[in-house]
Amino acid sequence: MMDRETWLRRILEGIRNLADEEYQERVWVRGNGPEVDSSTEAVCRLVDDYDLATFLDEAAKNAWVSTDQIAALQRLDVALARHASNGEDADDATRIQSPGWKKIRNLAKATLEAFTTPAASA
């Protein structure tokens, strides 16, 4: 298991990709690098590689972040799970314009905001 600062940094980096519509259009849709990525890879990286669910459990148990930050991460996690269970099999150009993905993008932005506001410090 990685240290909590690295873990959180990687999770927030992953969330930035989910929040950034310009990045999604440039990298996921047009394939203009230097990054090579897709919506599927971005979600898998956050949920599986960075193990968001375990981070949530550990962060709540050990008070690593504020309750507002935990709540924001949980809302995003639930939305990602709901989106995955919808079986949406669209290409990235279609996906990033869908109402479900726009909700995920907004939740990702709100999550990042929870980590940048002074009142949100742990």
The residue-averaged pLDDT of 42-57 equals 95
Torsional sign, CA 81, 106, 31, 90: positive
Is the model's pLDDT at 105 over the cut of 70?
A: yes
Percent of the chain predicted with pLDDT > 90: 80
Is the model's pLDDT at 55 over the cut of 70?
A: yes
Is the model's pLDDT at 82 over the cut of 90?
A: no
pLDDT grade for 84, boundaries at 50, 70 and 90: confident
Q: First-to-last CA distance in the chain?
A: 21
Element (H, E) at 98: none
Rg of the chain taking only CA atoms, in angstroms: 14
Choose between 118 and 104: higher pLDDT. Answer: 104
- pLDDT tens for each residue of 4-30: 999 999 999 999 999 999 999 999 999
User: Where are the alpha helices (H) located in the chain, listed in sequence order?
Assistant: 4-19, 21-23, 39-44, 52-62, 67-85, 92-95, 99-114
pLDDT grade for 79, boundaries at 50, 70 and 90: very high
pLDDT grade for 118, boundaries at 50, 70 and 90: low
User: Checking phi first, is residue 44 left (phi over 0); if not, alpha (psi -120 to 50) or beta?
Assistant: alpha
